[in-house]
Amino acid sequence: MIESKLQQAEKRYQELSDRLIHPDTFTNSTELQRIAKERADLEGLVQKIREYRGCVREMEEALVFLRGNDPEMKSLAQTEIPRLEKKFEEFEKELKRMLIPKDPNGDKNAIMEIRAGTGGEEAALFAGDLFRMYSRYIEKLGMRMELIDSSPTEIGGFKEVVFLINSKGAYGKFRFESGTHRVQRVPRTEASGRVHTSAATVAVMPEVDAVEIQIKDSDLRIDAFCSSGAGGQSVNTTYSAIRITHLPTGIVAQCQDERSQLKNKAKAMKVLYARLQEKADLEASQSLSATRKSQIGSGDRSEKIRTYNFPQNRVTDHRIGLTLYQLDKVIDGDLNEFTEALSLARQEELLKEVG
C-alpha cells in the first residue's frame, strides 16, 4: 500500500514538473502559482523517496554479495545488511509521516465562537472564562486576536463572543477546541454552595477567502443598528453595527466592534463565509460512515469534549482520555499539553490510514 502511494507521489511530481515548463502555463499566472506550490509541497517527499530507492539498491547489492563466493565481500555484506535494515525502518516511519495528507486549512487564520449553553448566568460566566483562557493562550503563542462581536452580561460573562485569530497556522492549532466544554463548580450566583454543571460551546472555523465561496448580492440582507453593551443598552448613537443575513440558508453574522460601518461589514462577511463553509463541511462529513470519522472528534459543537472540574482542580479531555490536575494553569491559558496531545492523536490516526 505504501509503495503504491510512493509511486503516485513520484508520478504526480513528474506531471507537475512537466506542466511547469509548458508554454501554456506561463500565460496563466494563477495556474502557474498553483502548480508551483503543489510541486514545492511534494518536493521534500520525492527527495526522501529517492533516498529510499538508493537504500533499496544498496540492499540488493549487499544480498548479491552475501550469496556470492568472495569471502571478503560476503563479510562486508553481513556487516552492511543490519545497518541497511535499520535505515529501512527509519525510512518507513518518515515516509508514512510525510504521506499524511496535509490539512488544506491548517495554515489559515481561525474564527472562534464561544456561546453560553445550559446553565443560565453561570454558563455565561464560564463562556467568559473560556474567552479569557483562549485570549491568554493566543498571547503566549505570539498570535494576534481581533474581536468581531460579543454579547456581554451584566455580571461579567458572555452570551456569545466571536473573534478572529489573525495568524498563520491558527486554525491548525485551535481546530480541536470545537465542541461542548463542561464546567463543574460552585456558581458565583449560588448561595447554598452546591456544585453545579454548566456548559458552553466552542466552534473553530478556518477563515475563508471570498473566491472559495461565491455569494450573490441578491442573497444578502444587510441591516445597520446601534452597537450595544451588557444588558442590551446602546453604547453609541450611530448605526455602525452591521448584521448580514444569508437569505437562502438563514445564516446570520454580525459585527459591532468597530466604529466604522465598512469595517464592521468586512468583519461580518468573514464570519458569514466561515459559517457557510462550516455548514458545507458538516453536510459532507455527515455523509461519511461512522468508521471514517475521526476518533478525536468531528468538530461538531454538540459533542462533549472537555470537563473543567474546579473542586478537584481537574481538566479531562474525553476524546483522548487525558486528565490534568492543574485546572488553575489551564484556565490561565496553559493549553499546550492538550493541543499537542490532540495533534499527536490525530497524526497517529492518519498514520494508521496511511499504513
Which domains does the chain possess?
A: 2-99 (1.20.58), 110-286+299-348 (3.30.70.1660)
Closest by CA position to 171, among listed 277, 93, 65, 83: 277
Whether the predicted pLDDT of 303 surpasses 80: no
Return the higher-pLDDT residue of 193 and 93: 93
Is residue 300 over pLDDT 70?
no
Of 63, 48, 69, 59, residue with least CA distance to 5:
48
Across the range 85-93, mean pLDDT stands at: 90
Q: Cα(264)–Cα(3) distance, rounded to whole angstroms?
A: 52
Q: What is the residue-averaged pLDDT of the chain?
A: 87
Q: What is the mean pLDDT of residues 207-231?
A: 79
Output Rg (C-alpha) for the chain, integer angstroms.
Answer: 26
Given a cut of 70, whether residue 50 has pLDDT beyond it is yes
Going by pLDDT thresholds of 50, 70 and 90, the confidence category of residue 347 is confident
